[in-house]
Amino acid sequence: MEKSRPMSEVNIPYAIRAYSPEALKAALRKMILIRKFEEGAEDCYTRGLIHGTMHLSIGQEASAVGSCMSLSDEDKITSTHRGHGHCIAKNADLGKMFAEFFGKDTGYCRGRGGSMHIADVAKGNLGANGIVGGGLPIAVGAALSAKRLGTGAVTICFFGDGANNEGAFHEALNMAAVWKLPVVFVCENNKYGMSTSTERSTAVKNIAERAAAYSMPGVTVDGNDFSAVSEAVDTAVTHARAGNGPSLVENLTYRWRGHSKSDRNRYRTKEEISDWMERDPILQMTELLLSHKVISEAEVETLQAETTQVIKDAIEFAAASPAPEIEDAIRFVYNEGTAA
């Protein structure tokens, strides 16, 4: 098959073939926004402006944005504790995200959820999750709704390598396959569940191999390669939308930062981290778009300046927002008027 194609087309990466220049530029912009959003969050955290902890996905931007390329607002995602990128890929409002980090009433969760629970149901984001593997069955449920109600929506279920050893992973994949539900399981394998490497925790070499146990397609791709990610996930989404059931896509990637803000990084070498930093997904994406003349150097510079300003504005919005009322601390536990 490949041999019969003209060389020019074979050498053009999937992303360039599949998407318009505008879509690609928007994708790059989202990746840069994710990076700057998280750097901004980290800066606010070190200044003591953000309470609790947070899990940064710096270095994993291609996985988040590439996976959501063919989704509409009707399509759902479930996310993880390392979910800022997924929110932004699913078009979240950065001001409302920062406001949530700052615990403000204008935040996505009105200050009740924080970094680990941001959801944007209107955009199809059913929420990050503080429990490893917590979102897997929920994603299957969302897919069940879509099938039962005939909405045509697909659900992408993001999870990490750590979750693949939770019982919920196996139960969810099995049920999704048994009922042929429109769900795509996207494993962001960043090599470590907190400090424990996949080599030490997981019996299979590639997590995608586990798809075979549930009789669904499984594929492992370079998660820092935007084009590879979008190709694999788009294929799975098309498969699901056509009523053929779930797939498992494994994006091999790396988090540059620690697991959370209390990580002392005793399990990784500086060499390993700098090797992966050299495979920066944003640099790779920028080079891809530059080399295919989708974007110019000048446009990249403009994009950098514009996104810096967006982040600055978002932080200012959050800082200036009002805090929730203390007397409302237990509001939203139940629907109003339904609980004594």
Q: Which stretch binds other proteins (CB under 8 A): 116-124, 194-202, 244-252, 289-297?
A: 116-124
Residue 133 makes CB contacts below 8 A (sequence gap 6+) with 159, 162, 163, 166, 167, 168, 169
CA dihedral 97, 99, 104, 107 (to 10 degrees): -30
**Contact with other proteins (CB under 8 A) among 44, 87, 285, 289:** 44
CB nearer to other proteins: give 29 or 210.
Answer: 210
What count of other Cβ atoms lies within 10 Å of the Cβ of residue 232? 27
Q: Cα dist. 262→5, 54, 101 in Å?
A: 52, 9, 17
Spatial separation of the C-alpha atoms in residues 21 and 29, rounded to whole Å: 12
**Among 2-10, 22-30, 162-170, 243-251, which window interacts with other proteins (CB under 8 A)?**
162-170
Sign, CA torsion 124/129/135/141: negative
Q: Tell me how far apart the alpha carbons of residues 162 and 267 are, in angstroms, rounded to a whole number.
A: 15
Q: How far is the CB of 63 from other proteins (least distance, A)?
A: 22
The residue count for binding other proteins (CB under 8 A) is: 61
* Closest listed residue to residue 165, CA positions, set 133, 199, 128: 133
Q: Burial letters for 79-107: b for 16+ Cβ neighbours within 10 Å, e otherwise?
A: bbbbbbbbbbbbbbbbbbbbbbbbbbebb
Does 49 participate in binding other proteins (rule CB under 8 A)? Answer: yes
Q: Is 171 in the site for other proteins (CB under 8 A)?
A: yes
Tell me: does residue 152 bind other proteins (CB under 8 A): no
Least Cβ distance, residue 141 to other proteins (angstroms):
2
144 forms part of the interface with other proteins (CB under 8 A):
yes
Q: Name the minimum Å distance from CB 49 to other proteins.
A: 5
Residue 269 contacts other proteins per CB under 8 A: no
Element (H, E) at 231: helix 226-241
Q: Which is nearer to other proteins, 114 or 223 (CB)?
A: 114
Selected from 5, 17, 72, 148, the binder of other proteins by CB under 8 A is: 148
Interface ranges with other proteins (CB under 8 A) = 44-49, 52-53, 76, 78, 107-113, 117, 119, 121, 126-127, 129-131, 134, 136-146, 148-149, 167-168, 170-172, 174-175, 178-179, 261-262, 264, 319, 330-335, 338-340
